[in-house]
């Protein structure tokens, strides 16, 4: 029984020793945890240091980029100044050309205005030159009739002069408006008064008081007429 007890005690002792080991193990775990914590703190510190280094590198890179950008801006400003000078020079050249063109145009305008005034002033030169021989013939006819007292000759001279005048006027597009026997046309005729004739249709021109004329297709003077009204 003792032996058995001893054995039992030994067993108990062993068990107790095992428990002690367990206690020892449990006691040693905080130490390991402390070491782990220290390691974790070191890793964390290392990461913080790395982060700070990266931040410093980024700031340095940003400063370098800013310096480069500033340098590029200075280069761009110089380039812009050069371009502005070239453009200002081009503008001066264009302004000078514009002033010359304006002066040329002003001279051209004045010359054309002078030509237009001259053309307007002497527009009748050609027709007047053609009428001068007729004036000469008319003066000769008057002088001859006064000397000879032959009025039949004067009449023939006047008829000839009238024919010459119409030849000249016809060349420039002048024509007489035919009125008597035609239906009244307000675009060609001006009615002075009306008369009643049974043997003539209504609104027909029965007499002409003043002959009308057209220059080409334009009425320059309407005929003054008497119109039949029933």
pLDDT digits (tens, 9 = 90+) for 91-115: 999 999 999 999 999 999 999 999 9
What pLDDT score does 155 carry? 84
Reported as a pLDDT band with limits 50, 70 and 90, residue 11 is: very low
pTM of structure: 0.49
List the chain domain ranges.
51-122, 124-172, 175-230
Fold of 175-230: Nucleotide Exchange Factor Grpe; Chain A, domain 2 (2.30.22)
CA distance 42 to 31: 16
Q: Are residues 192 and 159 in contact, defined by beta-carbon separation less than 8 angstroms? A: no
pLDDT digits (tens, 9 = 90+) for 122-158: 888 888 888 898 889 888 888 888 788 887 888 888 8
What pLDDT score does 77 carry? 84
> Taking all residues of the chain, what is their mean pLDDT, rounded to a whole number?
78
- Which 3 state secondary structure label does DSSP give 31? helix
Measured from the Cβ of residue 182, the count of other Cβ atoms closer than 10 Å reads 15
């Amino acid at each position: 029984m003792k032996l058995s007890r001893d054995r039992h005690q030994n067993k108990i002792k062993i068990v107790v020793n095992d428990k002690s080991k367990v206690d020892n193990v449990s006691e040693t775990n905080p130490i390991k945890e402390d070491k782990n914590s220290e390691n974790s703190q070191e890793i964390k510190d290392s990461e913080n240091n790395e982060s700070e280094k990266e931040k410093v590198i980024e700031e340095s890179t940003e400063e370098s980029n800013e310096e480069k950008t500033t340098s590029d801006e200075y280069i761009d400003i110089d380039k812009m100044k050069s371009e502005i000078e070239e453009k200002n020079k081009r503008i001066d050249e264009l302004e000078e050309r514009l002033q010359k063109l304006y002066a040329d145009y002003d001279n051209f305008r004045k010359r054309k205005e002078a030509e237009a005034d001259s053309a307007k002033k002497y527009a009748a030169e050609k027709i007047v030159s053609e009428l001068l021989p007729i004036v000469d013939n008319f003066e000769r006819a008057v002088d001859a009739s006064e000397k000879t007292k032959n009025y039949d000759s004067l009449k023939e001279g006047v008829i000839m002069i009238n024919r010459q005048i119409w030849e000249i006027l016809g060349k420039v597009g002048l024509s007489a408006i035919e009125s008597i026997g035609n239906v009244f046309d307000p675009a060609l005729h001006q009615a002075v008064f009306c008369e009643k004739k049974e043997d003539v249709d209504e609104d027909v021109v029965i007499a002409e008081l003043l002959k009308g004329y057209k220059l080409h297709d334009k009425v320059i003077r309407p005929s003054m007429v008497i119109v039949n009204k029933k």
